[in-house]
Chains A and B, each alone.
Chain A
Amino acid sequence: MHNRGLIILALSALACIVCFMTLGLRGNLAFVLELRLVRLAALVEVGIAIAISTVVFQTVTANRILTPSIMGIDALYVFGQILLVFLFGGLAYATLDARLKFFGEIVLLMTMACGLILPMLRARWDTGLMLLCGVVVGVLFRSLHSLLARLIDPNDYAVVQTGSFVNFNDVETDLVLIASLLTAAALAGIWRARHILDIVALGRDAAIGLGIEWRKTQIACLLLVCALVAVSTTLVGPVAFLGLLLVALSERIVKTRRHAVLIPATALVSIIVLVGGQTLFQHGLGNSSTLGVVIEFAGGVVFLILLWRGSRT
């Protein structure tokens, strides 16, 4: 780790975590700490999942503007949720084994997202077209979602409602452990492949020339991205621009696209933004606004800037 930016990021992230755990401690210490620890784990994991999935997605699609959520992958996931309720009813949905449901959803998401995005990559669409398609896909699934929401019983709808909006205050903690394992495994896999990802970033022809099995790598990366998106969406709900914000910010800080540096940097930035931001809102601003809204606003601005810059070059 010869990058100074990386060291500063690591220290800042650590400071954020310490503040999150210790600020305003009151009452039964053991209880409060345990509660905070679980929430900390969830936030860190969501941050890492979003950050890493965005980095990999951008590398494999060869551009800086698209992220899994802009391509509508999490809209697809949320739609899958309500489809389940529609088909089996709210009671069955609520009583379904959470872990079993979680895995089922991941597998479903992987197949659907690959079926959707791989043909676009094969046809080598440009960014504009992919973006347009992503927006259309996102709108389609969101519309289908609201259609189903109108069709089902209001009580059933209440069951899925919590999963449909981003919420960093109320993280689904019962899946934290299993999601952690999944994220850690994905992270380990991506870390091992960091050099391969550098080559993938050169583009298809150069990568094949250097001995990458392009198709296999592309599919493997997309599957991984889907799994990570499912993890983060399950825990906090769909976030549109967070990934974009995290990656753009990290790239500015470490000034490289080499994955050996960018991956840890993005993970650290995500911890700073989520854990630090959450601490700030809870203790500094007295929960007067929500972190999700602010992040999405900032992320949206970054998205517009990137689009504007890209259109000029």
Chain B
Amino acid sequence: MIRIEQVSLQYGAAEILKNVSLTIPKGGVTALIGPNGAGKSSLLSLISRLQSLQAGSITIDDLPVDTTPSREMAKKIAILRQDNQVGSRLTVKELVGFGRFPHNRGHVTQADADMVGEALKLFDLTDLAGRFLETLSGGQRQRALVAMAFCQDTDYLLLDEPLNNLDMYFSRELMRLLRWIADERGKTIVTVLHDINYGGGFSDRIIAMKHGQVVADGPPRELVTTETLRLIYGFDIPVTLIDGQPVALPFTK
């Protein structure tokens, strides 16, 4: 369980997060939505210890994120950031293999190789395995990065806008994979999404943030309504039910 208690974050005078408290139980897919600058990415950075806590506390399975050794945390939680710039010249396979680092510290075993092979297959990267990252398209690179996070094989997987750069086919594939990882492997997935309909289709719970606070929280059917979306985004979005799934349609003029 991820337990966030009274977390606040400030950059100078700007308040990014205001007294946020949340618990995310083990298992399932949780979508984090909200307008730009709502503090979603900052919250993920704090949970994944990329940023140090200023106020409040965050624990994962009762381990405080700020004092637990980084090495131990890396076996608990994996993070995919929004702006993943990989500095060095690597092949897809090498990058995905780095996901095993917290477990093998660089000494690759057969089990690691199997896991990497599985990840490459799952994320449809087998044909690209030997390619250098800089020769890939944005979407292919994104898939390689998610595959690396998957290879880390942690109980918790945080993703910051994983659908960035992905076309419709791979967006759906990735969401289906995340769903499968949560259901079949019992992992807990928290992902920032911008397209609320992916949240509606694939998540168990949607948490909406605005101005550094949680403004709505619940299962998709309760949350994806015209009233709630107005509260979050500030304009009227028609919502229809298709096969029992609420679909927001912000496409009218």
Residues on A facing B (Cβ under 8 Å): 62-63, 194-196, 198-199, 201-206, 208-214, 256-258
B89 at the interface (CB under 8 A from A): yes
Determine whether the beta carbon of A202 is less than 8 Å from that of B74. Answer: no
B185 CB within 8 Å of chain A: no
Is there contact, CB below 8 Å, between A202 and B86?
A: yes
Choose one: B72, B79, B84, B88; the contact of A201 (CB below 8 Å). B88
Q: Quick check: which of B15-23, B100-108, B114-122 contacts chain A, the rest being far away?
A: B100-108
| B12 sits at the interface (CB 8 A) | no
State whether B88 touches A257 (Cβ < 8 A): yes
Residue in A63, A202, A203, A213 whose beta carbon sits within 8 Å of that of B70 in the complex: A213
Q: Give every chain A residue within 8 A of B71 (Cβ-Cβ).
A: 211-213
A256 touches B89 (CB 8 A): yes
Are B87 and A209 in contact, CB atoms less than 8 angstroms apart?
no
Q: Is B75 in contact with chain A by the CB < 8 A criterion?
A: yes
Of listed A63, A196, A211, residue having the most chain B CB within 10 A: A211
- A194 with B106: CB separation less than 8 A: yes
Residue contact A195 to B105, C-beta cutoff 8 Å? yes
Q: Which of B69, B84, B87 is within 8 Å of A213, CB to CB?
A: B69
Main secondary structure of the interface of B (DSSP, over half): loop
Q: What's the Cα separation between A144 and B52 when bound, in Å?
A: 39
Contact B75 A209 (CB under 8 A): no
- Contact status of A208 and B70, CB under 8 A, knowing A198-B98, A199-B98, A203-B87: yes
For this complex, 20 residue pairs linking A to B, each with C-beta atoms less than 8 Å apart, are A62-B87, A63-B87, A195-B105, A195-B106, A195-B107, A198-B88, A198-B98, A199-B101, A201-B87, A202-B86, A203-B86, A205-B50, A205-B79, A205-B81, A205-B84, A206-B81, A209-B74, A209-B152, A211-B101, A214-B70
Q: Is B49 an interface residue (CB 8 A)?
A: yes
Which B residues lie within 8 Å of A214 (CB)? 70
Task: Find chain A residues with CB under 8 A from B88 CB.
Answer: 198, 201-202, 257
Select B98's contact among A194, A202, A204, A208, beta carbons within 8 Å: A202
Q: How many angstroms between the C-alpha atoms of A211 and B81 in the bound complex?
A: 15
Instruction: Knowing that A195-B106, A208-B50, A257-B89 touch, tell me 7 more A-B residue pairs with CB under 8 angstroms.
Output: A195-B105, A196-B106, A202-B88, A203-B87, A205-B50, A209-B149, A258-B94
Evaluate contact between B102 and A211: CB separation under 8 angstroms: yes
Chain B residues closer than 8 Å to A209, beta-carbon distance: 48, 50, 74, 78-79, 81, 149, 152
**Interface size range of chain B in the complex:** 20 to 34
Q: In chain B, what residue has the closest Cβ to A212? A: B70
Docked complex Cα distance between A256 and B89 (Å): 7
Known contacts being A211-B73, A213-B69, is A203 close to B89, with CB within 8 Å?
A: no
Question: Shortest distance in angstroms between B39's beta carbon and chain A's nearest beta carbon?
Answer: 18
Question: Across the two chains, which residue of chain B brings its CB closest to A216?
Answer: B70
- A196 to chain B: which residues have CB within 8 Å? 105-106
User: How far apart are the CA atoms of A199 and B88 in the complex, in Å?
Assistant: 10
| Minimal Cβ-Cβ distance residue in A for B84 | A206
A208, B49: Cβ atoms closer than 8 Å: yes
B180 to chain A, nearest CB (A): 22
Against A, the Cβ 8 Å flags (1 = close, 0 = not) of B121-133 are 0000000000000
A213 to B70, CA, bound (A): 6
CB distance from B104 to the nearest CB of A (A): 9
Q: With the chains together, A206 CA to B87 CA distance in Å?
A: 10
A162 vs chain B, min Cβ distance (A): 39
CB-based contact A210/B152 at 8 Å: yes
> Which residue, B75, B88, B107, has most C-beta atoms of chain A within 10 A?
B88
Report the bound CA distance from A75 to B9 in whole Å: 41
The 5 A-B pairs at the shortest CB distance, nearest first, are namely: A195-B106, A211-B74, A211-B71, A201-B88, A257-B88
